[in-house]
Structure formats: C-alpha cells, structure tokens
Amino acid sequence: MMGNTAFRIYFLTAVVLATYGAVKWEKYALQPPSVQLPSWTFDDLPLQFGEWRGENTNLDPEIAKAVGAAKDRIVDRAYQDGFGHTITMHTAMFNDPVEGLYHSPLNCYRSNGWERTKLTTEELHLSDGLTIPVSMSTWKLEGRRVLVVYWYQLGEYVLFGRWDLGIKVRWKLAGKSKWPPLIKVMLQIDALEAEEAKTVIMGFAEQVAGWENHPQRRKELLLIGDQSAEQDAKSGQ
C-alpha cells in the first residue's frame, strides 16, 4: 500500500512538472525574437466593398484589453449590403502569437454559452491564384444561429490554433531575427438560411482576404524587404 501511494505521489509530481514545463515552453519558446508591424492596419480597409457599406463599431475597453492585441491594431466594423445582410468583422494584430491564438473564436463562443453545431474548413480563392484556408463554424444560442468564419495569418502561414503555431510554424521561423505580427480576421453573419449565409459570408471573406493579401501589403507581411536586407548583410560579412 505504501509503495502504491509513493508511486502515485511520484507520478502526480511528474505530471505537474511536465505540465509546468510545457506551459513554460509554450510561453517562452514560441515567442518571436522581435515583431515588425506593417505600415498598414485594417483601419485602411475600405468602408465600401462593392455593394457592401461599413461603419466602425466601438469595442468595450475591457474586452479590448482581454483580447490582448495592441489597442491601435484592433478594428471592429459592421457591413451591410442592399439585400439586408449584415456581417460583423473583428480584426486584430498581435505581437504575441500565443496570446492571439488563445482568443480563438472556438474558445470564445463556447465560453460565452454558444453551442457549436458544425465545424468545417473552407477555402478562399483570391484573384491572384492564392488560396487561403479558413475555419467555418455554426453556433446557436437561445434561438439564434450564426455562422462564423475566421483565420489567422503569420506571414505566409495560416493558423487556427496553438497546435499549428507549435508544430507547423515555429520551427520554420526559427532563426529569423524578426517575425511579422499574428493577424486575426473573424466574420459573423446570422445564419437562419444556412446555405445563403455561407455564400454571402464567403464572398465577403474573399474580398477582405484579397485586400489583406494585396501584393504590397503581403510583401510587408512576409518581411520580404527585411529578408533581403538580412541576406545582403550576411553576404557582406
């Protein structure tokens, strides 16, 4: 009996230490050495996209603080078209990718009482041949149903959670002196008519992603100029 108790204590201690170590590793090992913000923000996103007209909405300061992004890098808007559709848009840029991915819509909606009824991965096809994968989920709460589309971009990589950062991206960016910020785009539309809502929000999402990944803005996200400068510096050594 004493041996079993001692084993359980040792095992529990090992689990606690392993968990503590994993948390510490995620906190520090996944941090970028330095982050270079682009010259543009989503404030520059047009208030009119074809038939869509938007207006800025105010985010509660406490919510903004909880989001963890730079205050001047959070943009919230509501867009409407001539057919009565309304899409709310939340965007943010994060210096800390771990913090940004922690605020995934899949976590936030659930923690606010919404029940997820569907989750898929879709693709946005941009005009220059670029394809952006996005997460699409359906949620319901007290008779209301919404469709949510979101994606995170870190340079050329698209992420949906911390697992993507730790496994897919971190080691590919290892050794770089600068990282781009983590960019979050989240869109929501009422989804009483599911197929219609999907068509509408995907069309809008393609316009937003196309704007975000315009060649000049994407060049800054990929830090192409900085990479060239680093290569030139190394060649001169």
Q: What does the pLDDT look like over 126-149, one tens digit per residue?
A: 988 899 999 999 999 999 999 999
Is there a single domain that holds both residue 26 and residue 37? no
* Domain span including residue 104: 33-236
Is there a single domain that holds both residue 113 and residue 203? yes
Is there a single domain that holds both residue 13 and residue 52? no
Is there a single domain that holds both residue 62 and residue 142? yes
Is there a single domain that holds both residue 14 and residue 61? no
Is there a single domain that holds both residue 95 and residue 195? yes
Number of CB atoms found within 10 A of residue 1's CB: 5
Task: Report the chain's mean pLDDT, rounded to a whole number.
Answer: 80
Q: What is the pTM of this model?
A: 0.79
What DSSP element (H or E) covers 133? Answer: strand 131-141
Is there a single domain that holds both residue 20 and residue 39? no
Is there a single domain that holds both residue 217 and residue 113? yes
- Number of domains observed in the structure of the chain: 2
Is there a single domain that holds both residue 19 and residue 41? no
Sorting pLDDT into bands at 50, 70 and 90, what band is 236? very low
Is there a single domain that holds both residue 21 and residue 55? no
Distance CA 160, CA 23 (A): 19
Is there a single domain that holds both residue 121 and residue 78? yes
Number of CB atoms found within 10 A of residue 209's CB: 21
Query: Is the pLDDT score of 14 beyond 70?
Result: no
Is there a single domain that holds both residue 13 and residue 122? no
